[in-house]
Amino acid sequence: MNNKVTIDLISSLKNKRKITMLTAYDYPTACLVDKAGIDIILVGDSLANVVLGLESTTQVGMPEMLHHAKAVRRAVKNSLLIGDMPYSSYQLNSDECVTNAQKFITEAGCQGVKLEWFDNCLKVTEQIIQAQIPVMGHIGLTPQTADKIGGFKCQGKDAQTANRLINQAVELEKKGCFAIVLECLPDKIAELITKKNKNSDYWYRFRNSL
């Protein structure tokens, strides 16, 4: 029996059951996560902190991300695999965003990529999706640009920033994101975003260190 999770399958499950996602950085962890039946595995750039001992996710680059994504790919039989694009691969030089996204697909065997919100996010998202690469968005606490949003703390706690996050989610959905990570938002704001947007899936995530 083929239990392979695809983008189309994820889309078909919306509003039908909970959709699960976990992060994995290596082969043994990915084996366990995949066997547990988790729908989506994210190879997160947080490996900079928790695996490589770096101070910031901005310090990890494409070589490291592709190396770990390949290791995870060898373990995954069923889960949908998403590669987290590192800061330098699309924010420092957006002209290289499609080329770098394609490497996650062709070299690492991922089925899509994740992008954190930044000033030029919508343009980059559009370019990658036009290249036929599925994109998962990420708003709220965005570690790659935490220094620009007040640090590692809950986002959207006032009306102005809450409205901005809601609008970001709407715009990402319009560009064609199949899913959006909502990191460290008030639960009411996450609920509003989820109800307002009908075509994308959402993962609401807290960081235990906050």
State the chain's mean pLDDT as an integer: 91
pLDDT digits (tens, 9 = 90+) for 64-99: 999 999 999 999 999 999 999 999 999 998 999 999
Inside any domain, residue 1: no
Percentage of the chain beyond pLDDT 90 is 78
40 or 153, greater pLDDT: 40
**pLDDT tens per residue across span 95-109:** 999 999 999 999 999
Residues marked active site are found at 183
Q: Is the pLDDT of residue 7 over 70?
A: yes
Residue 210 within any structural domain of the chain:
no
pLDDT-derived band at 14 (thresholds 50, 70, 90) equals confident
Q: Residue 20 belongs to a domain with what CATH number?
A: 3.20.20.60
Residue 28 maps to a domain: yes
Counting the structural domains of the chain, the total is 1
Bridge partners, residue 80, by sequence? 40
Q: What is the mean pLDDT of residues 134-158?
A: 92
121 located within any domain:
yes
Residue 2 lies in a domain: no
The reported pLDDT for the residue numbered 70 is 98
Cα Rg of the chain, angstroms:
16
Print the domain residue range for 162.
7-205
With a cut of 50, say whether residue 24 has pLDDT above it: yes
- pLDDT exceeds 70 at position 198: no
The 10s digit of each residue's pLDDT in 159-197 is 999 999 999 999 999 999 999 999 999 999 998 888 776
Residue 208, pLDDT above cutoff 60: no
Res 195: pLDDT: 79
